[in-house]
Structure 1
Amino acid sequence: MSTESSPAGPSLIASDVVHVSQPVAGHLRVVIDNPPTNLFDPTVFAGLHLLREYVEARGDEVRVVVFESGNPDFFIAHLDFATINQVPEIPGAHNIIAHWPAFSTWLTGAPVVSIAKVRGRARGIGNEFIAACDMRFASLERALLCQIEVGFGVVPGGGGLEWLPRHVGRSRALEIVLGADDVDARTAELYGLVNRALPDAELDGHVDTLARRIASFHPAALRTVKQLVDRRQPVPTEAELRESFTAILQLTSTDAVQERQRRLRARAGGSLASAELDLPSLYGPE
């Protein structure tokens, strides 16, 4: 892995887990680092909101945002349901349930170009996060993508049901969602889930070169291209995302799903933490 994957210098936002730097004018580098597995929790969400505020305050000064992980094993493990309702007293804090659909819609519709550079596991909302980005590039050796929700008795609620059919088509979307298994980077590229799968040693250089190139172009051209492409191939609406998020919350509250999740935690030894590296095997056939 290149040294590009390590945060450099002070962060431009007040977050302990989302580090934002500016390698060159117009290009922001965002490193998510929430040990031990980069769970998507209220602290990460708060950092992402601070990023949004930073980008919006600077208008055309920001043209490209590249997201990556500080953990080579996990891009974003999945949503942390234990803290989903919490709103900590930290800068940028928002309730995930209420505000994720709007943030996901902003990520897609913002005039800046968003690029996900994926190492490690992007599961559940992690996969939905990168799906909402404008482009995705994955490490051949390290990237694994997965919608885990059906394995836990629920459904993707953060955009998987909206984005996957658009990216890969209906049948492959059903395969990914209903199979609830890891998709390696080569298959993800074949299916159209990522733009390219690259050898890990080449990933940083490729994404950095592309981001710097895009950042050098006129912001009005970048903004207009995104607007016109989205008119020709519509992206998920905030209302669609809210509908799916409501469905996962309704299913999670049922006795049958809660019992299934209790059994899975017991199967993992009382906590999912020990099973995170190979989570799909936990809910596979016994």
Structure 2
Amino acid sequence: MAEVKTPVVIKVGGALLENPQIAGQLLGEIKALQSLRPVILVHGGGPLVETLLAAMQLTSTKIDGLRVTPDEQMPYVCGALAGSANKSLCGLAIGAGITPVGLSLMDGGITQCKVLDEKYGAVGVPSVGKADLLNQLLSASFLPVISSIGSNSDGRLLNVNADQAATVIAELMGGDLLLLSNVDGVLDQDKQLIKELDQSRIDEEVAKGVIKDGMLVKVAAAMQAASELAKPVTIANWSAPLTAILNNQTGTRVIPASQTSGA
């Protein structure tokens, strides 16, 4: 029986689309990686959402790094994330010689979502669903490109934080998770890269106000994934070589409690 290779789940922020050169470089590396391991791409689209809402003269606010999304704004948020951002990434993937399949969190039952808290509006918390669709796509060498739009069991469309979305996909597939953005990783108060973070160091940096807002959401998602997967999760810069990230030569590795000394 052929060995089942561990998928790599790569999360990218929507800001990647503002730099097509770096996006093309990353997707070229993803194509090369696909010959070795299955890859799943999960994406956000914050800048696109903000630009669209501003054009519609709609206000966009955040609480604790999470976007507040009134239900009446969901058609625009959904259009920006599951539409423009998703298809732009799929187009870039095609340009890199990849065959993508654009999806959202609600497709094929890959996740189930619940409302986080009504104070955030139509914001969802995802949980693991069924892996059947993704397994079929990966076995056929497609690149799933997944937007962070989900729905609850009643069909209410929900905006999901993309880091949390990628975490759940990694849990579903037992994959290695890379959270990539335009920062090199988690920085300390002297702006130096922290190479490894365990829960105690996270608590320490949060108490000092160093890890906060969007990075706090990202680190929390990484620690959740590291704990669920029982292996490290890497936060790194999307302009760094993928091989360097996968070989722990760059970025911040978030280490689960089971792998810290004395655990």
Pair in the same fold by TM > 0.5: no
Could you say which structure has the higher strand fraction?
2
TM-score (norm 2): 0.29
Q: Which has the larger helix fraction?
A: 1
Q: TM-score, normalised by structure 1?
A: 0.28
Pick 1 or 2: higher relative contact order, CA cutoff 8 A, min separation 6: 2
